[in-house]
């Protein structure tokens, strides 16, 4: 599993690096084609940013829920004990269920964070691609080329 993780994580990034454009790659493209690709890139970036924003909000909500569960677990542990000094059976059952839910949420939060890192890396590469396209567009306009050539 450890050997496969880096290749999976590098996949989208490597694909985006391959997408990065240079003036040489787009010499034969018309201004219209470049503007269409620029518009597609901008839409994809907007979509990624919206998804990242929602993920950040969800992550903050999950962190708050985990804090609340931690406080609840502490409250359960501080409840009066049996005469032998152990937790009451109902308290122990409730505490175990709460801890299981906390573990599950914590794991889900970790997965979300990894997904956010991946999306962020993809957005960075798309931003570079967008800059390259904008630069190429400006060069074409500066040379005075007309649309559709």
For residue range 95-140, what is the model confidence (pLDDT) as tens digits? 999 999 999 999 999 999 999 999 999 999 999 999 999 999 998 8
CA dist 76 and 69 (Å) reads 10
Phi, psi of 30 (to 5 degrees): -80, 165
CA dist 65 and 85 (Å) reads 30
Determine what percent of the chain is predicted with pLDDT higher than 70.
78
| 8 Å CB contact between 35 and 145 | no
Above 50 in pLDDT, residue 32? yes
pLDDT of residue 41: 95
Q: Is the pTM of this model over 0.75?
A: no
| 8 Å CB contact between 48 and 122 | yes
pLDDT of residue 28: 57
């Amino acid at each position: 599993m450890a050997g496969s993780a880096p290749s999976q994580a590098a996949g989208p990034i490597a694909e985006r690096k391959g997408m990065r454009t240079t003036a040489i790659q787009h010499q034969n493209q018309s201004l219209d084609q470049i503007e269409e690709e620029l518009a597609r890139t901008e839409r994809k970036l907007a979509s990624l940013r919206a998804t990242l924003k929602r993920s950040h909000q969800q992550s903050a909500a999950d962190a708050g829920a985990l804090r609340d569960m931690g406080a609840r677990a502490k409250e359960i542990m501080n409840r009066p004990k049996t005469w032998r000094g152990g937790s009451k059976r109902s308290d122990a059952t409730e505490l175990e269920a709460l801890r299981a839910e906390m573990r599950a949420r914590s794991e889900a939060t970790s997965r979300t964070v990894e997904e956010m890192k991946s999306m962020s890396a993809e957005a960075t590469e798309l931003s570079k691609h967008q800059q390259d396209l904008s630069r190429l567009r400006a060069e074409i306009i500066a040379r005075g080329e007309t649309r559709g050539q």
